Amino acid sequence: MQRSSTVDSGRLTAPASNRNKEIPSYLEKAYWWAYLHPRAVRFFERQWLVNLILWGNFNILRDAVLEKLGHSIKGKTLQVACVYGDFTPRLAQQLMPGATLDIVDVAPVQLDNTHKKLGNHGQVKLHQQDSSKMDFQDGEFDNTVVFFLLHEQPEPVRLATIAEAIRVTAKGGRIVFVDYHQPAIWNPMRYLMKGVFKLLEPYAENFWSKDIENWAKLDRQQAGIKKRLFFGGLYQMTSIDLHAS
């Protein structure tokens, strides 16, 4: 079980070497080259590169999330997993006075990188936690954001991450998932991305075989669910508004 190691963005309380470094085996095996090696972080932490990886859609998808959460974000927001690029700094900029942003990631090197990007931001806290078994209380957050994480997880971990995102979000709160989506059969990106997935993303094709609504195992009596597609259906933003009662 991953235990939280909390870092205030305004004050780094412990070096990465002193934090719990237990990393899930699937992450070490499939994504060491993208998220765990320090050189990988230095390589991928470039705005133009993350935009290129998403075929020029990073800014569009980022802004869609920020608009969905509101230009002045109140209460407590949770970001599940660190993100390359300026997603998190832009999210932090929209926090109202008194609002907070908590960010979880299982990799210390990713938390360190996010800390460097945010600087001394007193409304943000970083936690080393596993997204599939978080330490937060039920209903602790008003908003939860999961940005391009689910397709990188094997199915059991993905299901647990979605369940945890729902668990820690308050009734009446909102969960926003942004990730890949299977395009229509006429879209050439469907076939191009299958090749990319086979090379680099071993869990992604399984992920887009179902809608996030189906992975979440929620019905319309429990939540309002909306899906918006981008770039010919290759990307999706699925928002889940949990009913207050």
Considering the domain boundaries, does residue 1 fall inside one?
Answer: no
In a domain, 156, yes or no: yes
How many distinct structural domains can be found in the chain?
1
Residue 218 placed within a domain: yes
Rounded CA gap, 189 and 201, in Å?
A: 15
First to last CA, the chain: 31
On whether residue 33 sits in a domain, the answer given is yes
* Position 84 in a domain: yes
CB of 118 within 8 A of CB of 102? no
pTM of the entire predicted model: 0.92
The domain that holds 158 is classified in CATH as 3.40.50.150
DSSP letters for 165-187:
HHHTEEEEEEEEEEEE-PPPTT-
The residue-averaged pLDDT of 121-146 equals 97
pLDDT(129) > 60:
yes
DSSP conformation class of 73:
B
Judged against a pLDDT cut of 60, whether residue 19 lies above it is answered with no
pLDDT per position as a tens digit, 50-83: 999 999 999 999 999 999 999 999 999 999 999 9
Higher pLDDT residue, 221 or 193? 193
Helices and strands, number each (H, E), in the chain:
10, 8
Token representation of residue 199: 């090379």
Measure the CA–CA gap between 148 and 61, rounded to whole angstroms: 10
Question: 220: pLDDT confidence band, cut at 50, 70 and 90?
Answer: confident
Task: State which residues form the domain around 211.
Answer: 6-242
The model's confidence at residue 239, banded by pLDDT at 50, 70 and 90, is very high
| CB contact set of 49 (below 8 Å; sequence gap of 6+) | 43, 84
For the record, the structure tokens of 124 come out as 């943000």
